[in-house]
Amino acid sequence: MNIFDFKIKEKFPNESVLKNPEIYGVFSGYNLPSFVKDWLIQRNSTLEGKIDKENLRLFLNKHIAQKNKKTIKGTLINDYVPIKVLARILIEPDIRSGVIKFSIPDLGIGHNEGVIPNYIAEKYPELKGGEIWGVVKLSYNPPDNGKTGFIEIVDYKSFKPYEVDLEYFKQKRREFEVSEWIDLLIRSMEYNPEGFESLQQKILFISRLLIFVEPNLNMFELAPKGTGKSYVFNNLSKYGWVISGGVISRAKLLYDISRKTPGLLTLYDFVAIDEVETIKFTDESELRGALKNYLESGTFSVANYKGESSAGLMVLGNIPLTQERKPVNNRYFVNLHKFFNDPALLDRFHGFIEGWKLPRMREDLILRGYALNVEYFSEILHELRTESQYRNVVQKLVDVPKDADTRDKNAIIKLSTAYLKLLFPHVESPEDIDKSDFKLYCLEQAIKMREIIKTQISYIDPEFSREVPEIRIRE
């Protein structure tokens, strides 16, 4: 361990975990996100960071049956013995039958094979819809009087190993320099900060976390393959959902009229559309209209249903580069689906991440050292979303021209607020932060991200100005 490892372990003794690729090899064959792996590593670790690999393997074999998923249903049917597993559960109420159904894809349990009894749903409200991680006890109900057999959840324990003390986290931030804190964030994203070439590259990398901490933030990132954009959104939080390929409809994103069920944007902190160039859209004009309203205000109307949500939308795509690793075309959206070549829709996205400026995954980017436990880290990011004082601080720190475009102003304020939450979570008033730090790490980054969106819109429609308001630090 180096000096920084010791500092992380000292300041976050119960919330940090040693990242060692050799140790994490025990999870080979298990489709587990990082927040689950870290929890399992920590519960099988000594204070000195040594791992009880044998005990960890026993837990995996007993409670995470992904390797033996073909035998799960057979065991339930033949042995009539309840099975307890830690798993990802997809829950969808069936309006027509009045039954709450579930599936566990990793165990081969389909949507029409799982039922959640009413008494369990009443006891655990999170089992009434959406995606959750938890420890469930499964039991089999055989066919009876012409009714088909089904698997039911007879007990449940939420997977939330941490009760987050946000004030504790804020106080600990005061004990780190800005550069150290940036490195801790990168480590907690499971990357080695020493593998990055510059401070600006590090800031660009942690910009992927903005949508984790700021509600109703909408962003684009285009990057070549191998820069880790999919990994961040798939592995760092159970509060997000990633759509990879397939078909996207208004029903899927916002509200399904036939099933009378809310869409993905109402269930999560953010929804990321990955490999967007491969996505197909149904009823494009209808979806685009509904999405414009949602991205603008966080509300939407479908038929007689009115909904609202604080979820942000992240659009991820690939972009062709020259040998110098610069975009082949200065019109970044030219290769995307025509759905996104609508200036009014793009104008509702707040910022753009130039992912081609980030390094491809290399050996020197693999973390070997201490970082915040991903499960703890994801809970902190989730809690920061509802902290309203940061926006007030930002508004007191800046001067906005009276003739500023409202969307531009809102975008820059939102992005600056998100950077403030990430980098300076201990700040409670304008006096708590050096104005030059706020300008460098928050405001200038936000303005640049918004400028890219405006420039790209102007290429599609020259009537749109590429200028952004000259928002300055208040004297």
Please spell the DSSP secondary structure of 256-321, one letter per residue. ETTTTEE-GGGTSSEEEEESGGG-EESSHHHHHHHHHHHHHHSEEEETTEEEE---EEEEEE---B
Q: Determine the CATH number of domain 66-158.
A: 2.40.50
CA-to-CA dists, residue 354 to 224, 240, 438, angstroms: 10, 22, 21
| Torsion of the alpha carbons at 202, 208, 213 and 216, rounded to the nearest 10 | 140
How many residues comprise the chain? Answer: 475
Residue whose token pair is 């689950």 = 36
Question: In the prediction, which pLDDT does 396 show?
Answer: 97
Question: In the prediction, which pLDDT does 369 show?
Answer: 92
As a whole number, the mean pLDDT across the chain is 90
Question: In the prediction, which pLDDT does 257 show?
Answer: 87
Question: In the prediction, which pLDDT does 48 show?
Answer: 63
Q: What's the CATH fold of domain 197-358?
A: Rossmann fold (3.40.50)
Question: In the prediction, which pLDDT does 338 show?
Answer: 85
Q: What are the residue ranges in the chain where pLDDT is below 70?
A: 46-49, 65-70, 159-162
Give 89's contacts (C-beta < 8 A, 6+ positions apart).
102, 103, 104, 127, 131, 132, 133, 134, 136, 153
pTM for the structure as a whole: 0.85
Structure tokens at 289: 């209209």
Question: In the prediction, which pLDDT does 62 show?
Answer: 74
* pLDDT tens sequence across 376-404: 999 999 999 999 999 999 999 999 999 99
**Euclidean distance between CA atoms 183 and 191, whole angstroms:** 9
Domain boundaries, the chain: 66-158, 197-358, 387-473
Pairing of β 99-104 and β 83-94: antiparallel
**Euclidean distance between CA atoms 164 and 255, whole angstroms:** 32
Tell me if 264 sits within 8 A of 243, measured CB to CB. yes
* pLDDT tens sequence across 49-65: 677 888 888 888 777 75
Nearest to 41 by CA among 467, 334, 439, 376: 376
